[in-house]
A and B are shown apart, each in its own frame.
Chain A
Amino acid sequence: MNTWRFVVKRAAESFLVILAALVLVFYLANVAAPNPASVWAGPDASPEQIQVVTELYHLDSPWYVQLYYYLGNFFTGKWGISPLYQTPVISLIEEYLPVTLELAVIALVLKLLLEIPLGVISSLRPGGKTDNGIRLVYTVTRSFPPFMVALVLLLALSYYLHLLPSAYYVSPTLALREPQFGFDIGGHIYHVWLIDNMPILNALLVGDYGAFLSALVHVILPALALALFGFGGIVRLIRNSMLDVLNSDFVKTARAKGLRERVVIVRHALRNSLLPTITIASIIFAGLMQGSLVVETIFNYYGIGYLVAQSLLNFDTPTLIASTVIVTVIVVLSNLVADILYTVADPRVRESL
């Protein structure tokens, strides 16, 4: 199978998964729920509000008509109105999603920087003291709940040592006068919502170094808590694939040639051991997106995880539904990207798929 056919096939499958997620959520909210109108209007809605919502979402039509409107609205960005914030859901997502994307990318980088070296060290002397120590640590940390690390970091570094702020993505006094970055093309300023709402990137592009530093200081704790959530998965993966590679002929050849050990390990062994990590990077990213629910709640970090948490706690179902679908889309797309990257890096995989 050639690369393009594979990419098209996987893309079509991903689209089907997204469609299935949409239909499943539709079925839950409009058909299976005991009272669909209150799902969309919120539990405290008045009879008049229920009436408005019933007409807005066509809740008195047969289910297939509802499905038609629901899918049509989804693909045109009409994701309903949040009963909690009284604003269109899409504008909430535009505001909150970029914050989490930025946080998750930083957390992913931190995670890789922490775990890959440990995996390499662990593989150098398998069964040795260091290896056993590292393995003991990750067998335990791998099953930590997301709130455990966050709580310990919050209590120790923020409340006890007063090193880092305990809440928000930028100091509240700075947030009030935050300018937003725009691309100046032919005298007209274009704004990109994705960049506008990333606190660190926006501040950097605008050149507001006070805000940039503040955002950087605020991101450390949540990013560290996310990076340490499920700590050990990559250590183990790198360790095992390093062990496989270190025993292979080409590494022996490299050593026999008299290359320095550092070069053998980094250039020859580690490079080849990174492949499995690339494939599961999307799964890790999905884990980070889900971990952000708890972490952002604990640190009051206003990203999509915080938004989902608030919608759960306040029965703001339209926001919850849209966020769930959007996160599913992100997860499915990152899976797709990982699969494509993997087949580019190792064409043998395609045969088995």
Chain B
Amino acid sequence: MSLYRNVRRDKTLMAGLVILVVIVGLTVISATDLRLLTSYSPYSLNFSASNLPPSAKHIFGTDQEGRDVFTRVLAALPVDILTPFIIVVASVLLGGLVGVVAGYLAGLVDEFLMRITDLFLAFPGILLALAITEILGQSHVSLRLLYSEVALIVVGWPVYARLARGQVLQVKNMPYVTLAKVSGLSRTQILRRHVLPHLLPLLLVYSTLDMGAVILNYSVLAFFGLGAPPPTPELGRMVYDGLSALPQNWWSSLFPALIITIIAVSFSLMGDGLRDALDPRMGERYARA
């Protein structure tokens, strides 16, 4: 089996997987009951304990308001993992649909849909997402999380449309699909049984890689206060809030930044590993810039 072909790649896949299992585990526990993991509250202010350096009691130290940074990191995980996940899934569905329709129907529909896709690809992604969220979200703070998701889907779907279209075009004219057509299968049946199964592994690999990128983009949105409204803790926002306490209190911005980095890196390690396991040549063709 090709999955075990490359030992080095396997190691990166395993490393990514192990870190992710730990993080997803922590996220699930944090979402069910945070008190299982920590005795501090992520919300209540305690100015007598502000700016404490990392120690056995507070392993990531405390922030300017005296909240335990480790507790806030744990409390931030559900939003910071789930939001990018929703964004990636929605982008895959929307982009996949556009790409399959364009590739399958071809002709004018294809031309029209791909022009729109190219248009969206040409925009500077994060900046557009930031602008969309700020403009829509400024008078509805409670809806800001939803708007930030919409914004990142708007900049995220075009890549999937291109991927899906390319794959459909490749498969569409293969002899076995022609045979299926001759043997009287309907369009939907061909699509479901013969085209989609080829598409799914590719989308899975790319979306794993993309999770890392979306987590980074979302952390930048949160950095500028455009993610979930306060007091919900968010890793990106914690980095920004910690900046004003520099240089004495370096821990309240560095540790959240480190955690985002670890999560994003583990997704891209796993994506890289999956990609090579599936098809070693794919890396060159679909390499992200």
Could you tell me which A residues sit within 8 Å of B by CB distance?
16-17, 20-21, 24-25, 28-29, 32-35, 38-39, 43, 132, 139-140, 142-148, 151-152, 154-155, 158-159, 166, 233, 236-237, 240, 280, 283-284, 286, 289-290, 293-294, 297-298, 308-309, 312-313, 315, 317, 320-321, 324, 327-328, 331-332, 335
Contacts and interface: CB of A to CB of B under 8 A. Distances in A.
B122 A38 contact: no
Contacts of A308: 127, 130
A143 B288 CA distance: 11
Contacts of B202: none
B41 interface: no
Contacts of B138: 33, 38-39, 43, 315, 317
Interface string B259-286: 0110011011100100000000000100
B136 A159 contact: no
Interface in B102-153: 119, 122-128, 130-132, 134-136, 138-140
A309 B224 contact: yes
B239 A21 contact: no
B126 to A, nearest CB: 5
Interface string B180-224: 000000000000000000000000000000001100100110011
A315 B268 contact: no
B258 interface: yes
Nearest to B256: A147
Contacts of A313: 224-225
B146 to A, nearest CB: 13
B280 to A, nearest CB: 12
B8 interface: yes
A159 B130 CA distance: 30
B270 to A, nearest CB: 11
A324 B131 contact: yes
5 contacts: A17-B122, A148-B261, A152-B254, A159-B250, A297-B243
Contacts of A328: 123-124, 127-128
Nearest to B268: A143
Contact of A147 (B140, B239, B288): B239
Given A155-B250, A289-B124, A236 B257 contact: no
B289 interface: yes
B124 A240 contact: no
Given A147-B257, A151-B254, A159-B247, A327 B264 contact: no
A158 B246 CA distance: 11
Contacts of B126: 290, 293
Contact of B258 (A20, A148, A166, A293): A148
A148 B257 contact: yes
Given A159-B250, A233-B289, A312-B225, A132 B257 contact: no
Given A143-B264, A159-B247, A28 B139 contact: no
A142 B8 CA distance: 18
Given A28-B132, A328-B127, 15 more contacts: A17-B119, A139-B12, A139-B272, A143-B267, A145-B257, A145-B260, A147-B219, A155-B254, A233-B289, A290-B126, A298-B243, A312-B134, A315-B138, A321-B131, A324-B128
A327 B135 contact: no
B174 interface: no
A29 B216 CA distance: 26
A352 to B, nearest CB: 14
Contacts of A309: 224
B124 A286 contact: yes
A159 B124 contact: no
A294 B223 contact: yes
A25 B220 contact: no
Contacts of A331: 122-124
Contacts of B225: 312-313
